[in-house]
Amino acid sequence: MLFDRLMRPALYRLNDNDPEKVHERTLRVLSRLADVPPALAAARRRFAVSDPVTLFGLRFANRVGLAAGMDKDGRALAAWPALGFGFVEVGTVTRLAQPGNPKPRLFTLPHSDAVINRMGFNNSGAAALAQRLAAKGKPDIPLGVSIGKSKVTPLEEAVADYQESLRALYPWADYFAINVSSPNTPGLRALQDREALAELLAELARTGEELAAAAGKPATPLLVKVAPDLTDDALAELLEVCDEHGVSGIIATNTTLGRDGLVADEAAVGAETGGLSGRPLTERAREVVEFVHRHTGGTVPIIGVGGISTGDDARRMLDAGASLIQLYTGFALHGPGLVRGINRALAGSRSDDAGRPASPRTP
């Protein structure tokens, strides 16, 4: 691919082989696309694929979304539909602005087709994102907002922390992703435990219903993003809690603390702490999607994410039970041609009900 052979190496040379500088420069360029309508239109003609699907009462332009982490603060919202995405998830955003973990904190492993990050929810805060959305508007595709706990907030105050982010962003989100599974915020994954998760979901659902009633609209769907490192028993318990509190869907999965699947010559980089994403996560993410689909009897919609870098990966994720998929590492490493290729593969091969839950729960 042209991107792999020429564009990606050039980006890294221009940015001192620093993946985070590449990420930042890419966002700056994409954020300017909205100010150049001819460029935006040209990108849309080249990359956009119409293959609509309806889920959660929302019409998605196609099944391929941008995962949280790429555009945390919603800086390039006009660009994502032009690059072929059918929906976009911003964040993870926290109530308080925070710088994230010390640098370096992002590492590419090109031979393993993988990335390790320990970013630590670096973002400008929920209020700043709300202000940007108020000023710039939403994209013309569904907008998900991933919310997480501020690092300085004690676990016992986590519920209030999430609630404030929910309140600030409720007018703008088409769905919320409740991130309790990042490995890069100390103690966050403890919120996947039954008692903590039950309290969090109950209060977020209550807050959402109050906000929806005040606005005279249906409640915004709440989805829970799960870790790939949970045991089957722990995942089953989490799904029971989600069912008890009417969660609209599951996002499977976040990054992993495991290091299986890395090639030998990248072992030194692989020793860096943080969450691993990309090709080494492909099989495990699909296993989790399959488990969720089977355990819930196909009644809970699933967004499948993790190690999707080919049309076949995406097809198999849908076959495992996902209704939608998301990209991050694959897009970062291989460019927008991957989005177009996957969308064309899915549009050309799916049946009317492929990858859809039998009786999906809707809010």
Is 256 annotated as a binding-site member? no
Is 340 annotated as a binding-site member? no
Is 86 annotated as a binding-site member? no
The DSSP secondary structure of 278-295, one letter per residue, reads EGGGHHHHHHHHHHHHHH
Is 119 annotated as a binding-site member? yes
The answer to whether the CB of 117 falls within 8 A of the CB of 80 is no
118: nearest Cα among 279, 277, 307: 277
Is 70 annotated as a binding-site member? yes
Is 254 annotated as a binding-site member? yes
Is 144 annotated as a binding-site member? no
203 by Cβ neighbours in 10 Å (0-12 / 13-18 / 19+) ranks as: middle
Is 328 annotated as a binding-site member? yes
- Match 């198999």 to its residue by tokens: 316
Which DSSP letter does residue 310 get?
S
Angle of the 194-215 helix axis to the 158-169 helix axis, nearest 10:
30
The DSSP secondary structure of 61-73, one letter per residue, reads SSSEEEPTTSSTT
Is 255 annotated as a binding-site member? yes
Is 348 annotated as a binding-site member? no
Q: CA 280, 83, 24, 310: dihedral to nearest 10 degrees?
A: 10
- For residues 98 and 117, what is the distance between their CA atoms, to the nearest angstrom? 16
* Torsion sign (Cα): 162, 164, 168, 171: positive
200: how many CB neighbours lie within 10 A of its CB? 23
Element of type H or E holding 81: helix 79-82
Exactly one of 150, 182, 248, 309 is catalytic; which is it?
A: 182
The answer to whether the CB of 149 falls within 8 A of the CB of 188 is yes
Is 120 annotated as a binding-site member? yes
Instruction: Confirm whether 182 is a catalytic residue.
Output: yes
Is 65 annotated as a binding-site member? no
Is 1 annotated as a binding-site member? no
Which DSSP letter does residue 188 get?
G
Is 100 annotated as a binding-site member? no
- Distance, first Cα to last Cα, the chain: 41
Residues contributing to the annotated binding site for FMN? 68-72, 92, 146, 179, 225, 253, 278, 307, 328-329
Residues contributing to the annotated binding site for substrate? 72, 117-121, 179, 184, 254-255
Catalytically active residues are 182
Residues contributing to the annotated binding site? 68-72, 92, 117-121, 146, 179, 184, 225, 253-255, 278, 307, 328-329
